[in-house]
């Protein structure tokens, strides 16, 4: 049943799900299953396996909760066949809790006290109808000792019982919930006297839109405004209340007429407004939050993956510069393996203005360590530092290094981390940041894994999200990326090794300790000598760990040791040596994979092996490219509408993309300006790390916002505020064009986005 449900949701075969679940339960990781157990799962990829794993966890939690509820109701002596069937058919936690609500142990309620006072039969009389008035019928239920001394109190007790009955009817609650979700409008207003304090939320001071259509970024912005007590958000249901009254009346099915009928209708209407709707309003705003969080986590995960898999500059001596003005520019030189070989601090900028001596210092370091790359952090003082390096090249033309502006998000987090302290115990925190900036140019993945994923800054509103779910999702992304690329067993850091399939932090530490004590690993088999690294961990990890120029040529590839005999068989049957076979693409492509399929290795595995042998250890990441920032454009005030610039995409949100154009302030390309056609998802056009050509539309220096466009400019015009194309899915984004844009601010983006909103209306 569970396997069939997941299979239906993923649109795969139940047998595939069953096989994957078995492997996961046996301790196999998603990267291992996706890469080395394709025959078993029918080639489910890592994305499908992650979804499967998530749903499996949810459904197992659902089953566990179901058992608890069944046991609770059974112990109360209230479990019958029909109720058991309903509970067993419940396909969500919400439905399960709806059914359990009447039986859930609860605090003493007004309805419970009324029942204890014997008022239940009165309610049944009122529902059936009687010639007597409600007050006359209530006379027979007076009970001063129980607190029901007059007819008003008795009828209030009967009303409490009726309201509790309808609020615990699972089918009614479910039907109302779905109906309100379809009908409701979210009405947002500013709290009195909070307009000035909450100016950043001004786009929502009087905002209304269908609840089910509120996009993720807008929902999170509104909820943040509510949390900061600037906004109020409620559901507008006035036009639908009459319809909901009818739904409730149909469900209760009372026969009363006249005064009794009026009493029942009024009580139901009052209960709907005072209890059911407030309860469901809270639930549905929670549903909106949950959907918004899921989308935000999805966007964050997708951006993180793109960033981690961005192009590495490669193993080249690199000089890292962590820009600063008053505190100076921190300098760190790392060799081709990432080892720190020199560091210093220079003061080229205000207030010292020690320009010439700073250039001399950099020249000496470049010459001494044969620097090929200069990595400049994009924080405060970055363009001034970029100018410094340009001057260095002019004065010392023999220096052939390439300068690159690097996103330094998270470098300060790494600098102050325990990991950095262990790696560089005697190094100042600020110098550690320069080391990180240098290394992340050489290999972004190897360096960024040292930083908590949510500190990297490619998400939206990450501090407002469920931190457990966010961390789980991002950790999965990091694990998939690291294993997709693979790591060098003899140079990888502890942080990088810990992300390898089957390895824990302890095992990663033990590998590094073994390497330090015994020297480089000669082959993968030597891993078995590492303390506490057993057969299962070896099986899961070995294929993702590379040994370059080792005794076994296959150790430098992603071919798993369990398949080495198969490769030897292929070589022997074709009268080839192993070294001559590896890399001979023309020969390998002419081989028939089916010839080597057997009980152990199926078609998927054989094809993967032959493809890997063509280019062993190939890096799936793209070729290294950098943006060229325009000289003389160093701050927002240098920008003019109509300027064409090159930049690097730093972040992609649902409402557009942020682009670094070298002015310390990212510009926003709104979704309506990404292309000359309708764009549903910005990720269809750009991703973090892309080099793009943009045109400046508008610069708001007061609000520190830069509006950019990637659309073709209309012939013969240089309009700073062109009309947007078709209305987009997120015409009213909550974002600031800054390094922290996606995490901390809200609001539309000038007149451009206001126009888009008006068109949508």
Q: What is the pLDDT of residues 292-322, one digit of tens each?
A: 999 999 989 998 998 899 899 999 999 999 9
Beta-ladder partners of 546: 488
CATH classification of the domain holding 45? 1.10.10.650
pLDDT higher than threshold 60 for residue 159: yes
Return the number of other C-beta atoms located less than 10 Å from residue 482's C-beta: 24
Indicate whether 536 and 583 sit together in one domain: no
The conformational region for residue 103 under phi > 0 = left, psi -120 to 50 = alpha, else beta, is alpha
CB-based contacts of 384: which residues, under 8 Å, 6+ apart?
A: 323, 325, 348, 349, 634
Indicate whether 746 and 678 sit together in one domain: yes
Average pLDDT over residues 521-532: 97
CB-based contacts of 7: which residues, under 8 Å, 6+ apart?
A: 13, 14, 16, 17
- CB distance 374 to 344 below 8 Å: no
Domain-located, residue 253: no
Distance in angstroms (rounded) separating the CA atoms of residues 89 and 91: 6
Indicate whether 496 and 435 sit together in one domain: no
Is the N-terminal amide bond of 263 cis, ω within 30° of 0? no
Band of pLDDT at residue 714, cut at 50, 70 and 90: low
Beta-ladder partners of 376: 321, 405
697: tokens are 């539309």
Run of H or E residues at 488: strand 487-488
| Digit-coded pLDDT (tens) for 641-679 | 999 999 989 888 889 999 989 887 899 999 999 999 999
Short-list 566, 526, 574, 518, CA closest to 550: 526
Domain-located, residue 192: no
| Domain limits for position 519 | 487-557
Distance in angstroms (rounded) separating the CA atoms of residues 488 and 508: 13
Distance in angstroms (rounded) separating the CA atoms of residues 714 and 696: 14
Indicate whether 674 and 750 sit together in one domain: yes
pLDDT higher than threshold 90 for residue 232: yes
Short-list 485, 539, 545, 540, CA closest to 515: 545
Distance in angstroms (rounded) separating the CA atoms of residues 716 and 693: 19
pLDDT at position 630: 86
Tokens 């590492």: give the residue: 530
Helices of type H across 189-228: 216-227
pLDDT higher than threshold 50 for residue 744: no
Burial of 243 by CB count in 10 Å (0-12 exposed, 13-18 middle, 19+ buried)? Answer: exposed
pLDDT higher than threshold 90 for residue 588: yes
Distance in angstroms (rounded) separating the CA atoms of residues 239 and 244: 10
Half-sphere exposure of 528 (CA within 13 A, CB side): 7
Return the number of other C-beta atoms located less than 10 Å from residue 427's C-beta: 17
Q: Kindly state the percentage of the chain with pLDDT values over 70.
A: 94
pLDDT higher than threshold 60 for residue 463: yes
State whether residue 55 is helix, strand or coil. Answer: helix
pLDDT higher than threshold 80 for residue 734: no
Band of pLDDT at residue 106, cut at 50, 70 and 90: confident
Indicate whether 642 and 545 sit together in one domain: no
| Digit-coded pLDDT (tens) for 185-225 | 999 999 999 999 999 999 999 999 999 999 999 999 999 99
Higher pLDDT: 681 or 733? It is 681
pLDDT higher than threshold 70 for residue 723: no
pLDDT higher than threshold 90 for residue 713: no
Buried b (16+ CB within 10 A) or exposed e, 645-668: bbbbbbbbbbbbbbbbbbbbbbbb
DSSP one-letter code for 274: I
Burial of 213 by CB count in 10 Å (0-12 exposed, 13-18 middle, 19+ buried)? Answer: exposed
State whether residue 254 is helix, strand or coil. Answer: coil
Distance in angstroms (rounded) separating the CA atoms of residues 591 and 595: 8
pLDDT higher than threshold 50 for residue 43: yes
Phi and psi angles of residue 445, each rounded to the nearest 5 degrees, phi first: -65, -50
pLDDT at position 129: 86
* Residues making up the chain, counted from first to last: 761
CB-based contacts of 675: which residues, under 8 Å, 6+ apart?
A: 685, 710, 711
636: tokens are 């927002």
Longest CA pairwise span in the chain (Å): 107
pLDDT at position 383: 86
Distance in angstroms (rounded) separating the CA atoms of residues 302 and 651: 10
| Digit-coded pLDDT (tens) for 27-42 | 999 999 999 999 999 9
Indicate whether 352 and 416 sit together in one domain: yes
Half-sphere exposure of 599 (CA within 13 A, CB side): 0
Indicate whether 750 and 642 sit together in one domain: yes
Indicate whether 429 and 415 sit together in one domain: yes
Distance in angstroms (rounded) separating the CA atoms of residues 470 and 297: 6
Band of pLDDT at residue 379, cut at 50, 70 and 90: confident
- CB distance 307 to 448 below 8 Å: yes
What sign for the dihedral angle of Cα 383, 388, 391, 392? Answer: negative
Domain-located, residue 386: yes
Band of pLDDT at residue 752, cut at 50, 70 and 90: very low
Short-list 626, 92, 55, 86, CA closest to 312: 626
Distance in angstroms (rounded) separating the CA atoms of residues 371 and 402: 9
Average pLDDT over residues 563-581: 96
Phi and psi angles of residue 732, each rounded to the nearest 5 degrees, phi first: -130, 70
State whether residue 651 is helix, strand or coil. Answer: strand
Average pLDDT over residues 516-534: 97
Torsion angle of the four alpha carbons 165, 168, 174, 176, in this order, in degrees rounded to the nearest 10: 40
- CB distance 98 to 170 below 8 Å: yes
DSSP string across 565-614: HHHHHHHHHTT--HHHHTT-HHHHHTS-GGGG--SSS-HHHHHHHHHHHH
pLDDT higher than threshold 60 for residue 716: no
Average pLDDT over residues 404-411: 87
374: tokens are 């200069």
Average pLDDT over residues 257-281: 95
Short-list 698, 684, 680, CA closest to 642: 698
CATH classification of the domain holding 381? 3.30.420.140
pLDDT higher than threshold 80 for residue 50: yes
DSSP E strand boundaries for 399-453:
402-406
Domain-located, residue 593: yes
Q: Of the candidates 125, 145, 168, which is a domain's last residue? A: 168
CATH classification of the domain holding 580? 1.10.150.310
Chain centroid to Cα 102, Å, comes to 37
pLDDT higher than threshold 60 for residue 726: no
Short-list 404, 301, 382, CA closest to 687: 301
Indicate whether 348 and 436 sit together in one domain: yes
Indicate whether 653 and 736 sit together in one domain: yes
Q: In what order do the strands lie in the sheet with 231-236?
A: 206-210, 185-190, 231-236
Distance in angstroms (rounded) separating the CA atoms of residues 669 and 193: 34
Domain-located, residue 94: no
Indicate whether 553 and 569 sit together in one domain: no
- What is the domain count for the chain? 6
Domain-located, residue 523: yes
Indicate whether 611 and 703 sit together in one domain: no
The conformational region for residue 678 under phi > 0 = left, psi -120 to 50 = alpha, else beta, is beta
- CB distance 244 to 176 below 8 Å: yes
Average pLDDT over all residues of the chain: 91
Distance in angstroms (rounded) separating the CA atoms of residues 322 and 186: 46
Return the number of other C-beta atoms located less than 10 Å from residue 366's C-beta: 23
Band of pLDDT at residue 81, cut at 50, 70 and 90: very high
- CB distance 484 to 620 below 8 Å: yes
pLDDT higher than threshold 70 for residue 98: yes
- CB distance 415 to 430 below 8 Å: yes
pLDDT higher than threshold 60 for residue 165: yes
Domain-located, residue 358: yes
Q: Of the candidates 114, 145, 168, which is a domain's last residue? A: 168
Q: Of the candidates 557, 584, 603, which is a domain's last residue? A: 557
Tokens 């983006």: give the residue: 749
- CB distance 223 to 286 below 8 Å: no
Domain-located, residue 711: yes
């Amino acid at each position: 049943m569970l396997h069939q449900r997941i299979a239906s949701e993923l649109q795969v075969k139940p047998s595939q799900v069953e096989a994957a679940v078995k492997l996961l339960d046996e301790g196999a990781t998603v990267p291992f299953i996706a890469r080395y157990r394709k025959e078993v799962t029918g080639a489910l990829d890592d994305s499908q396996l992650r979804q499967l794993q998530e749903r499996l966890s949810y459904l197992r939690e659902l089953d566990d909760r179901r058992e608890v509820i069944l046991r609770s109701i059974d112990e109360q002596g209230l479990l019958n066949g029909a109720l058991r069937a309903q509970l067993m058919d419940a396909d969500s936690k919400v439905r399960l809790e709806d059914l359990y609500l009447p039986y859930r142990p609860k605090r003493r309620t007004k309805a419970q006290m009324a029942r204890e006072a014997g008022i239940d039969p009165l309610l049944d009389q009122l529902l059936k109808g009687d010639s007597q008035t409600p007050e006359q019928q209530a006379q027979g239920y007076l009970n001063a000792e129980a607190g029901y001394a007059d007819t008003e109190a008795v009828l209030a007790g009967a009303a409490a019982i009726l309201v509790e009955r309808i609020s615990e009817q699972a089918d009614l609650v479910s039907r109302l919930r779905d109906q309100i979700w379809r009908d409701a409008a979210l009405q947002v207003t500013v709290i009195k006297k909070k307009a000035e304090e909450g100016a950043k939320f001004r786009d929502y001071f009087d905002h209304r839109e269908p609840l089910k259509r509120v996009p993720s970024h807008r929902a999170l912005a509104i909820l943040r405004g509510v949390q900061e007590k600037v906004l109020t958000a409620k559901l507008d249901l006035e036009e639908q209340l009459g319809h909901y009254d009818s739904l409730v009346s149909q469900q209760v099915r009372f026969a009363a007429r006249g005064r009794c009928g009026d009493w029942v209708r009024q009580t139901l209407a009052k209960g709907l407004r005072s209890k059911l709707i407030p309860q469901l309003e809270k639930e549905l705003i929670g549903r909106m939050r949950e959907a918004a969080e899921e989308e935000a986590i999805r966007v964050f995960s997708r951006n993180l993956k793109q960033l981690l898999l961005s192009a590495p500059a490669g193993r080249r001596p690199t000089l890292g510069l962590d820009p600063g003005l008053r505190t100076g520019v921190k300098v760190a030189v790392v060799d081709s393996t990432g080892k720190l070989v020199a560091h210093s601090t220079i003061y080229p900028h205000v207030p010292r203005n020690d320009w010439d001596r700073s250039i001399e210092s950099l020249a000496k370091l470049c010459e001494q360590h044969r620097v090929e790359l200069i990595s400049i952090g994009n924080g405060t003082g970055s363009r001034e530092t970029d100018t410094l390096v340009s001057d260095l090249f002019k004065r010392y033309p023999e220096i052939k290094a390439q300068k690159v502006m690097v996103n330094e998000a998270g470098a300060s987090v790494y600098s102050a981390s325990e990991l950095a302290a262990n790696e560089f115990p005697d190094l100042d925190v600020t110098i550690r940041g320069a080391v990180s900036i240098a290394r992340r140019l050489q290999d972004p993945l190897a360096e960024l894994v040292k930083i908590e994923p949510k500190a990297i800054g490619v998400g939206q509103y990450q501090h407002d999200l469920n931190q457990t779910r966010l961390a789980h999702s991002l950790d999965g992304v990091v694990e998939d990326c690291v294993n997709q690329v693979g790591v060098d067993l003899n140079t990888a850091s502890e942080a990088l090794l810990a992300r390898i399939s089957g390895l824990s932090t302890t095992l990663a530490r033990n590998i590094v300790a073994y390497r330090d004590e015994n020297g480089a690993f000669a082959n993968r088999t030597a891993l078995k000598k590492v303390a506490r690294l057993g057969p299962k961990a070896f099986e899961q990890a070995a294929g993702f760990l590379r040994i370059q120029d080792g005794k076994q040529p296959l150790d430098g590839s992603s071919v798993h040791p369990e398949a080495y005999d198969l490769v030897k068989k292929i070589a022997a049957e074709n009268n080839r040596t192993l070294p001559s076979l590896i890399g001979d693409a023309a020969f390998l492509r002419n081989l028939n994979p089916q010839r080597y399929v057997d009980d152990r290795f199926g078609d998927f595995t054989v094809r993967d092996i032959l493809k890997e042998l063509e280019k062993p250890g190939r890096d799936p990441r793209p070729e290294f490219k950098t943006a060229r920032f325009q000289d003389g454009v160093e701050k927002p005030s240098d920008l003019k509408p109509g300027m064409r610039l090159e930049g690097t995409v730093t972040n992609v949100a649902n409402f557009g993309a942020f682009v670094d154009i070298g002015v310390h302030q990212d510009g926003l390309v709104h979704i309506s300006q990404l292309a000359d056609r309708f764009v549903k998802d910005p990720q269809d056009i750009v991703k973090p790390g892309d080099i793009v050509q943009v045109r400046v539309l508008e610069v708001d220096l007061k609000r520190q916002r830069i509006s950019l466009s990637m659309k073709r400019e209309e012939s013969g015009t240089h309009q700073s505020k062109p009309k947007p194309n078709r209305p987009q899915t997120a015409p009213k984004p909550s974002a600031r064009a800054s390094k922290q844009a996606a995490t901390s601010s809200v609001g539309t983006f000038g007149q451009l986005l206001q126009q888009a909103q008006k068109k949508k209306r």
